Amino acid sequence: MVKRSHAVAKRSHDTLERSHDGARQVAESRILIVGLGLIGGSLAAALKAGGYRGEIVACDRDPDEIARGIAMGVIDDGGSELTPWVEASSLIVLAVPVMAMQGVMEALRPLLDDQVVTDVGSTKLAIRTAAEAVFGALPARFVLGHPIAGSEKSGVAASNPTLYRGHKVILTPEPDNDPQAVARVRALWAACGAEVLEMAVERHDQVLARTSHLPHLLAFSLVDTLARQDERLEIFRYAAGGFRDFTRIAGSDPVMWRDVFTANRDAVLAALDDFEAGVARLRSAVERGDGDAMLATLDRASHARQYFDTLLNKTRYQTMEQRNIRYRVQPGGSVRGTIRVPGDKSISHRSIMLGALAEGVTQVQGFLEGEDSLATLQAFREMGVAIEGPHQGRVTIHGVGMHGLKAPVGPLYVGNAGTAMRLFAGLLAGQAFDTELTGDVSLTRRPMGRVADPLRAMGAVIETAEGGRPPLKIKGGQALKGIDYAMPMASAQVKSCLLLAGMYADGETRVREPAPTRDHTERMLNGFGYPVSRDGDLAWLNGGGTLTAGPIDVPSDISSATFFLVAAAITPGSDLTLEHVGVNPTRIGVINILKAMGADLVLSNQHEVGGEPVADIRVRYTPLKGIEIPADQVPLAIDEFPALFVAAASAEGTTRLRGAEELRVKESDRLQAMADGLAALGVEVTLYADGIDIVGRLDGQGDDGPSYGGGRIDSLGDHRIAMAFSVAALRAREAIVIDDCANVATSFPGFIELARKVGLALEERAEEGA
């Protein structure tokens, strides 16, 4: 790949110009596909269907396949010999079986100049090794790749122009690869509608051994085993859809898969070892009649399949397709009716955690089926806890006791849930095994030093990323000791983290808070029979206790209810009742602040459920007044301020907030995000390091007129910002458009339906690249 001919120079000048869509963006004058089977043929078909303007030629040892490809219009020309097709081609795709790759490379070596070469093999280490054997080293313009797509069919006749659309193509570039060559291969696959990812060669082979090679091996083995039995005709005659679906891949090309298993032998055997160990565990549970062990495995697998489907779609949504969930809310409307918002997220998290560590079975009602809470469920399943549900808010947890958790096989992913990560840090610091906690992009920006530092003082060994941020790597088997800790900042998450760690510590753990914070953990621990004491600003417990299972009825989340409380409070003619709302004294800052602003807000049907006070809340419109928010109410309403800022913008006069620097380190900098959004609507705001001044606007139209204009808001992916500005449209003169609203479904499933039910004119739209 060193010499350069006049033909190559001319070819470079003749390279086609890029255009704006599909395969027309591929700037190759001629593409040579070596091996015209399903994969190579589908690549050619996809490029043709996308409007690729260059020439596609192919080389295949079977001249009938070349003739068929030309007749189908998949390729323009080709033959069974390489030499005539290489020199004038700018990019060459090797689409032959893995074990045939080295022979093709040897034939190509004397013919190559500066062409870019790539491959489609499903094992990369074997192909890299073959290239090194032929060329001495992997050439700089040879980019290893693997499309994760296929079919049990084979040959160019099975070519499918949509085979790669929405599928992944993994490239495994080496440090010495030419970046321009990598970019050209990326463009080739992107033009086919594929998602192009990069991965190290060794990691690729390990991952594919588990997700592709092992399933094919098992399908071949199962069908072969049944086919050799005397009653095979009866077995196949009555096989159901599940058998057909799983064994479909056993119809794939046997020669190709023999080569794959041979080329990736070590990784396939390692994956098979893990699988055999899992089957042995399940077999043992069946033999023993151990229902809990069987349920733990089956339920974990069932929900992992569902959960990771959602997870992977969300990851692709955020980073690949760049789609934007946008809300458009028309101005005006009224808020009337009776609704019940989803269960409290904080209590939902804690019910799973304590239920998993309890002795016995815990029944939970009202569980919040949002992605954050589901991430907590899945994490405990991965640590060996059998959990049934959720189904319509009902969850059954088969507790394993304080020391019954098992080491997960990989990092525990908690999505966007800061509560889960901080509470897990305390709980896992006392386990005998190592764990790693990770989350989505938003969560990896949030500070975790506030829990890691005091846990280290208790004897925990915790590694964080730069700046004390996730992921958290927690070393198991540490002897924890109780501490007396004065929190520098009021935080229920930090307090709860240390109390959970204190259950595993020697002696007494005491946590003092500078201002009151929510006390769900203390209440629920006592409810599970683990004594926690309180005296003013101090909470403490002794290590070494146990938890006893019991029923939990999760109240409606007051943080979710807040958006509707504010909606009714600011909208003329409103009369709304919210049922079964949690009114824990450490969470009612929003109620106290709205009442101080003059809201007509009445609590009825007050009672306790599982130690948590609940009530129905009725809100009717009356004009609000701006206030100076009392300092003692700030920690009691920290999550509710985005909605309260909308109330302030609709009130008469100025509302002042100080001592709320915690808002800077939520899912977004909520002080800055709300200030920017309100200013975009024409509201006068003054931002401070720890607070904000908001001047309500009436524009001379009286209490019942619009308070501000409309406009476009960037929610920064923060669900509370998105929902707050949705409510703001009730007092706007024009529509409010809110970008980046996908995370609303994570924390508040059903928000859109409830908003429409009570009278908001809210439309949701998914848009590309916006």
Residues annotated as catalytic (active site), given as ranges = 639
C-alpha closest to that of 366 among 392, 328, 332, 337:
392
Q: Residue holding tokens 């907590």?
A: 376
Nearest to 762, CA basis, from 370, 337, 201, 333: 333
Letter for the amino acid at 270? A
For the CA atoms of 45, 46, 48, 53, what is the dihedral angle to 10 degrees? Answer: -140
Helix (H) / strand (E) containing 553:
strand 552-553
Q: Does 639 belong to an annotated binding site? A: yes
Count of alpha carbons within 13 Å of 156, Cβ hemisphere only? 28
Question: Distance from CA of residue 658 to its chain's centroid?
Answer: 34
| Main-chain phi, psi angles of 90, to 5 degrees | -95, -20
Residue 24 marked ligand-binding: no
Angle of CA points 754, 757, 758, to nearest 5°: 95
Instruction: Decide if 737 contacts 724 (C-beta within 8 A).
Output: no
Residues 346 and 634: their CA atoms lie apart, in Å, by: 18
347 phi/psi in degrees, rounded to 5? -75, -35
716, two tokens: 């920064």
What would the two tokens of residue 287 be? Answer: 């033999």
Q: Is 446 annotated as a binding residue?
A: yes
Considering only CA atoms, which of 566, 592, 561, 554 is closest in space to residue 579?
561
484 bridge partner residues: 510
3-state secondary structure of 282: helix
477 secondary structure, DSSP code: S
Q: How far is 442 from 719, CA to CA, in rounded Å? A: 12
* Residue among 717, 708, 711 nearest 739 (CA): 717
- 562 residue type, one letter: T
Task: Provide the 10 A C-beta neighbour count for residue 115.
Answer: 24
- Contact present, 744 and 371 (Cβ < 8 Å): no
53 marked among binding-site residues: no
**Three-state SS annotation for 609-672:** ECCEEEEEEEEECCCCECCECCHHHCHHHCCCHHHHHHHHHCCECEEEECCCHHHHHCCCCHHH
Q: Using only C-alpha atoms, what is the Rg of the chain?
A: 31
Q: Find the helix or strand (DSSP H, E) in which 233 lies.
A: helix 232-237
Task: Flag whether 350 is marked binding.
Answer: yes
Check whether 48 is labelled as a binding-site residue: no
417-445 core/surface letters (b: 16 or more CB in 10 A; e: else): bbbbbbbbbbbbbbbeeebbbbbbebbee
Cα separation, 389 vs 442, whole angstroms:
27
Q: According to the annotation, is 153 in a ligand binding site?
A: no
Residue ranges for the binding site for 3-phosphoshikimate? Answer: 345-346, 350, 491, 493, 639, 666
Residue ranges for the binding site for phosphoenolpyruvate? Answer: 345, 418, 446, 493, 670, 720
Residue ranges for the binding site? Answer: 345-346, 350, 418, 446, 491, 493, 639, 666, 670, 720
